Structure 1
Amino acid sequence: MLRLIYTALLYVAAPLAFAVLLWRGMRDPLYRDRRGERFGFSRTKLDASIWVHAVSVGEVQAAAALIRDLQRRFPQSPLIVTTATPTGAQRVRALFPQGVHHAYLPYDLPGAVRRFLERIRPRIAVILETEVWPNLYRECGRRQIPIVLASARLSEKSVRRFRRIAGLFRDALNQGLVIGAQTRSDADRFIVVGAAPARTHVTGNIKFDLETPVEARARGEALRTGQFPGRFVWVAGSTHEGEEDVILEAHRGLLAARADSLLILVPRHPNRFERVRQWLSGQQVTFACRSRGEAVTPDTQILLADTLGELLMLYAAADVAFVGGSLVPIGGHNLLEPAALARPILTGPQNFNAPDIARLMLESGAALQVESAPGLAQALADLAANPGKRSQMGQVALAMLESNRGALARVMALVEETLHRRAQ
C-alpha cells in the first residue's frame, strides 16, 4: 500500500518537476538537453554495462578515480554515468571525453525506470552516497541487478524521516543492496532502517581518494606567475546566492589591510554567472571575467571565474581557499579539493553535507571556521600576514587527506565480490 501511495504521488509530482525543467530551460540552455531521458528514453543502448550514478558536480568529481578504476578493471564492459543535473553532465564530459557514456537518471516512475534499465542493461549499479529510489531499486532487484552504495551516509535526521515510511525504504534497502558506508555510525544507521547487516560494510569516503591532475597544479602556477605574481590571492569557490555579498564585504575589509589582495570568485552554478557579473558591475570594484579572456592587471581586485571545470586549477593558483555553500544553508562543498593542493581552508558554519570531513579539518587545524564578513576579513588578513601559518595549515590539510585514503580500494573490492557472486 505504501508503495502505491508513493508511486501515485510521484505521478502527480512528475509533471510539475518536468514543468520546472522546462521553465529552467527558458533561462538556461543546459536544461533543454535530452529531456526525454527524465522519463527513461535514453538515447544510449548498451549491454552488460557498468553503471555509476553521481548526482551532480561534486559527486562526479569524487567518483572520478572510481570510474577510471572501473575502466581499467573491466575494459570489456561499457561504462555509463548518470547524473541528475546538467552541470554534472558537463563534468562527466570534461573528465571523460571518450569511453564513458552519460545519461540523466529518470524520475522514479515504474515505466521510466523499466525503459531506462532496458536500454542500458547494467551488470551492476554503483551509486554514490545516499540516493535511494524505491521503484528503481525494486526493479533492479526484479532483474537481479546488484547495487553497491559507495561512500554511503545517513544522518540521524534521515533515520527519523526513514522510520516514518520504514516499510517503503526497508523494501528498497533489501533488494540485493550492498552498502559501503562512510563510517561505523553510518553503517549502524542503515541497519536501523532495515539494511541487511551482512551486506553493510564500513569502507570510508572515496572523496579522500581524490585525484589531483598534475596539469591542474601546473596551470594554476602558470596563471599566477603570468598574471598576478607576488599578490596575496584567495579563492571563494562554489559560492551561492547570499554568499557573494558577504565575500565582497570581507574582501573590501582585506583590501584595507593589504591593498594588493586578489579575490578569485567562483560561483557554483553556471546559470548564475551572468547575474554575478552584472552584480559586480554595480559594486564599484575593478574585476575581470575569465570567460572573456580578460587579463588580471595590478589594479584588478576580483577575477570572476565564470567558467566550468577550473576550480582545482584556481585553488592551485591561490594562497587560501574559502569553500562556499557554507555561509548559507546549502551544507558546504568539498573541503578536500583545496586540501589535496595543500591550501589552508576557510569555511562557514553550514557543513552538514559532510560533517565528519569538516570536523576533521577544523579539529586538526587545517581549516578555520568563519561566520561573518568581518570574521572572514580578519582570518584572511591574519593568513596574508603569516606565510608560515598558511604553509602549516596546508600541510596538515594534505596529511589529513593522505591518512584517510583507501576507501576506493575497499569499494572496488565490494564491486568485484558482488559481480563474482552474481556470476555464480
Structure 2
Amino acid sequence: MIGTTPLVREVLPNGSERFCKPHLSGPPTCKRRSRTVNNTKPALALSLRLLIWASAALELLAPMILRRRLRRGKEHPTRWREKLGIASASRPSGPLIWLHAVGVGEVMALRGLITLLQQQRPDLHFLVTSTALTSATAWNANTINGVIHQFLPLDLPRSSRRFLDHWSPDLVIWAEQDIWPALVSRISARHIPQAMVNARLNDTAYAKRTKLAWVYADALSRLTLIDAQDDTTAKNLSRLGAQNVTVSGSLKPVSPPLSDWPEDRAAVTAALGGRQLWLCAPSHPKDEAIALAAQAMMDNTLLVIAPRLPNRGAEIREAALAHGLSTALWSNSDRIERSDVLIADSFGQMGLWYRMADFVLIGGTFCEIEGHNPWEAIALDCAVLHGPRTANFATDYKALDSGNGARRISSAQEITRLHQDDLRAISSSAKVLANAELTKKAALAQQLLGLIGGQDA
C-alpha cells in the first residue's frame, strides 16, 4: 500500500484505477496505478455474442438436465443447485479471490498457491470452484482453513449472474485448461481482473481448440496474467492469441501435505506386525498387474492398491487371487493381518497411504493415462517409482529422474530389487527439488496480488 494515510481510489477515463494519498496542502500524491484490468479488450466477436445468446435458451433446460444427472448419481445430492449459481454459503466480508479448476488433481494443486497467497495477504478470503463431483469430496478431505468450496455455475447468463452477484470476487484465477469463454466475458464486463495459472495445453489439446480459435482468442485477451507450466503450453497459448505468457512450472510441487488420518494410521500400523507397506496409486489395471506380480515375489510386505476409481475393488481382488495373493477390502473393514494386498477403495485418504508407504508405484505410468501427480507422495517423504509413460507430467518426471528424485522402472523384478534398498535418498532428493519451486511460486503469488486494486506487484 502507499504509506499509512487512507488512500483515495480514482477511476480513470480508460477504466483503470489509481490510489492517491491526500495532503493538507497541494495536490495528492499518486505513486502507483493498479493493474486491475487489461484496458485494450477487443470488441466482443459477433460469433461469441451468438454463443451467449444461444446459451440463454439452454437456461430453461438446465434444472431438468441437472435433476436427471442427480438421479443417476452424477451430481451432489444437496449441492447441485450451486451449478445454477445458487450459493450454499455466505460471502465473507473483505477481499475475495476466486480460483477455479475442473477436477480432483487440478483442484488439489491450487492448495499450494492459496497457502502462498495467504502468507502474503492474511486478510484475504478464498473461494474455490470445481466441476467434477469427486473434486468436492477430495477437497473436503484436504481443505484449507478460510477457503470455501462451491461448484462452478453453468456457463449460462442467469446462473453466472447469480453467482457473480453473490460472490463479487476481487480477482478470478483460472487453472490449467478449464476456461469458459462466455463466463470470462461476463466477468470482464464487471471489470474484475482475471488470470490463468498452472496452464497446460499440449499439441493435441491445442489442435482441438483451433476449431474454435476465435472463442479462445477473445477469452485469452481478457486475462491480465497467464502463467504456463512449460514452454510448449506457452507456445500454444500464444498461437491461440494469448499475450506475454510466462512460464514458472507446475503448482503441484508446492502443494502442502495431504490430510492425516491418525486413528486409521495407528490401526494399520498395529495390523502390519512389522511388515513393510508399499503402495500402487492412483492405479489402473496395467499398473496393478506390475504391482501384483512384484508382490507375489516379495516376502514380509503388504501392498496397498488405491485405484483411481474406487468402485473397482472386485476387479482388483480377482486379479490378486490370480497371483495367489489374499486380499482385504478397506471399505469392508476386512482384517489385514494375514492379507497380502489391501485394496484402498475409499476416496480422499491418499494422505494416509502416502504417510505409511516406504515407496509408491505411481499409477497411469504403464498405460494411455500417461501418469499421475508424483508430488503428493513426495510431500510425505514417500519415494516415487514410475513406469515409462509420463506424458501428462513429462516436465516433472524428467526433473525428478535427472535429480535422483524418482526412479523409472519397467518390470516387477525391478521393484523386488529396489524394495530392499534404502530409498530415503530418493525421497530426500525429491524434497530438495520441491523446495526449489517455492521461490518461483512465491513470486507468482506476488504478481497475482498485484492485480488486486491498490497492491504493489
| Number of the residue aligned with 1:62 | 109
Given that 2:129 and 2:149 are in contact with CA atoms closer than 8 Å, whether structure 1 keeps it comes out as yes
Larger radius of gyration: 2
Query: How many angstroms apart in 2 are the aligned matches of 1:261 and 1:191?
Result: 50
The reply on whether 1:301 has 2:348 as its aligned counterpart is no
Q: C-alpha displacement at 1:140, in angstroms?
A: 1.1
| Structure 1 segment 88-167 matched on structure 2, within 5 A | 88-96=135-143, 99-167=146-214
Instruction: Give ranges in structure 1 of 5+ residues lacking alignment.
Output: none
| Number of the residue aligned with 2:252 | 207
The reply on whether 1:351 has 2:390 as its aligned counterpart is yes
Query: How many angstroms apart in 1 are the aligned matches of 2:355 and 2:376?
Result: 10
Deviates more, 1:90-99 or 1:33-42: 90-99
Query: How many angstroms apart in 2 are the aligned matches of 1:75 and 1:404?
Result: 22
**Matched residue of 2:357: which SS?**
coil
Alignment deviations for residues 281-307 of structure 1 (CA, whole Å, 9 cap, x no partner): 68534222333444420x211112222
Given that 1:174 and 1:196 are in contact with CA atoms closer than 8 Å, whether structure 2 keeps it comes out as yes
Change (3 A) 1:61 1:219: farther
Query: How many angstroms apart in 2 are the aligned matches of 1:172 and 1:86?
Result: 26
| Number of the residue aligned with 2:13 | none
Change (3 A) 1:94 1:256: closer
- Report the TM-score, using the length of structure 2 for normalisation: 0.77
Query: How many angstroms apart in 1 are the aligned matches of 2:60 and 2:320?
Result: 40
User: Which has the larger helix fraction?
Assistant: 1
Given that 1:347 and 1:367 are in contact with CA atoms closer than 8 Å, whether structure 2 keeps it comes out as yes
Q: C-alpha displacement at 1:5, in angstroms?
A: 5.7
| Structure 1 segment 246-395 matched on structure 2, within 5 A | 246-269=286-309, 272-273=310-311, 275-277=312-314, 280=317, 284=321, 285-297=325-337, 299-370=338-409, 375-384=410-419, 386-388=420-422, 390-395=423-428
| Number of the residue aligned with 2:81 | 36
- Report the TM-score, using the length of structure 1 for normalisation: 0.83
Change (3 A) 1:412 1:289: same
Change (3 A) 1:194 1:421: farther
RMSD of aligned Cα (Å): 3.4
Q: C-alpha displacement at 1:311, in angstroms?
A: 1.1
**Matched residue of 1:408: which SS?**
helix
- The alignment-based identity, stated in percent, is 25
Query: How many angstroms apart in 2 are the aligned matches of 1:3 and 1:98?
Result: 38
Change (3 A) 1:217 1:25: closer
Given that 2:193 and 2:224 are in contact with CA atoms closer than 8 Å, whether structure 1 keeps it comes out as yes
Query: How many angstroms apart in 2 are the aligned matches of 1:279 and 1:11?
Result: 46
Change (3 A) 1:331 1:116: farther
The size of the alignment, in residue pairs, is: 407
Q: Which amino acid aligns with 1:378?
A: Q
Query: How many angstroms apart in 2 are the aligned matches of 1:17 and 1:234?
Result: 45
Alignment deviations for residues 342-391 of structure 1 (CA, whole Å, 9 cap, x no partner): 43322234433322112222344433445xxxx4422211212x313x33
Given that 1:339 and 1:397 are in contact with CA atoms closer than 8 Å, whether structure 2 keeps it comes out as yes
**Matched residue of 1:357: which SS?**
helix
